Amino acid sequence: MAEELEMEIEAYGYATDLMHLLDLDESDKATWNMKSEGMRCFVDGLTALAALPCDDRGIQIRRMLLGQGTVCVQNVVDALKCREVLLKCKSASALGSICMCNSSSIALMKNHRDAIMKGLTRMVAGKNRWAQGDATFVLGWIVRWEEDEDTLQLMLDIVPKMCEIVNSSLKILESEQTMDDESMEDCESNLRIYPFVFLLNLCRHRSLSTHENMIIATINSAIQAVLNGNLSEKDDIAQLSISLLYKMVDSEGSKAIPLILSHKMLPSIAKLSRQLAEENIKEQCLELLKLIVDKTH
């Protein structure tokens, strides 16, 4: 009991400090001037919120922020509309942190659904790779908990863009284009992972049948990159790809199997089960192959 009280007191103090940082003058919001003292504090607040763990203390801080810092949360949401890419990305990362926890994600979306979806879908549709990655990260968390039908339909509408993002990153990889720095390599790595997380979470709520051909073609390209390339994130991509394929094959009314066969993916899936060291990925590949065989006989 004493430990819980101590945690609540600490969480309250941290949430109060966070709200102080995220409080903005109207003059700062009018210009989003990154050089002002208020904006520097705001960015520090966004960074702190983005790094907040999703443990009991972190959940409590998020709850307090949403309950008592409504103006501050509005500032974070409004930052999605600014022209400064860095600030938009910081805002998206902070919102993603809130959405990592079920209860806080639901509360956030209840009050700011339209503005958040509009801001994030614009970032995904844009050309900035950092903005695309950060927005996709947030959407992946939102869709994990989401039950609103209109929002899920919006998520379904951006599936083609998610496939395009993965494919464009795979093309950059295939061309062996030199990245400017390590951070850009991390950005491209995220753009090969986050869309699959988004798709996997979306398929738990909605059938992906309308986009099956495009998704399976994208998965096939990703698997080929895992088999033939030197991807640092190859285990993540393999696991996400096979998990997504399994969900699609197992979905009622799915036409995934004919598409998998037309892309001649079975040998690649079998090769994946032999080539990767992770036992759980091997098992997933074998389970997928068995499911396909069972459903075709």
295 SS3 class: helix
In a domain, 225, yes or no: yes
Q: pLDDT tens digit string along 238-248?
A: 999 999 999 99
**The domain boundary residue, chosen from 145, 179, 201:** 145
Residue 139's contacts (CB-CB under 8 Å, 6 or more residues apart) are 120, 124, 155, 158, 198
**The domain boundary residue, chosen from 145, 179, 197:** 145
In a domain, 117, yes or no: yes
Q: At 94, which CATH number? A: 1.25.10
Residue 84's contacts (CB-CB under 8 Å, 6 or more residues apart) are 32, 34
In a domain, 263, yes or no: yes
pLDDT at 181: 67
In which domain, by residue range, is 211 found? 158-297
Same structural domain, 66 and 116:
yes
Tally of structural domains, the chain = 2
Q: pLDDT tens digit string along 52-64?
A: 999 999 999 999 9
Same structural domain, 7 and 140:
yes
CA separation, residue 104 to residues 65, 140, 291 (Å): 9, 15, 37
Residue 262's contacts (CB-CB under 8 Å, 6 or more residues apart) are none
pLDDT at 7: 84
Q: What is the mean pLDDT of the chain?
A: 94
Same structural domain, 223 and 295:
yes
Quote the pTM value. Answer: 0.94
Same structural domain, 113 and 199:
no
pLDDT above 60: residue 178? no
Same structural domain, 18 and 132:
yes
Tokens of 59: 């959940």
Q: pLDDT tens digit string along 106-160?
A: 999 999 999 999 999 999 999 999 999 999 999 999 999 999 999 999 999 999 9
Same structural domain, 109 and 131:
yes
In a domain, 25, yes or no: yes
Same structural domain, 79 and 23:
yes
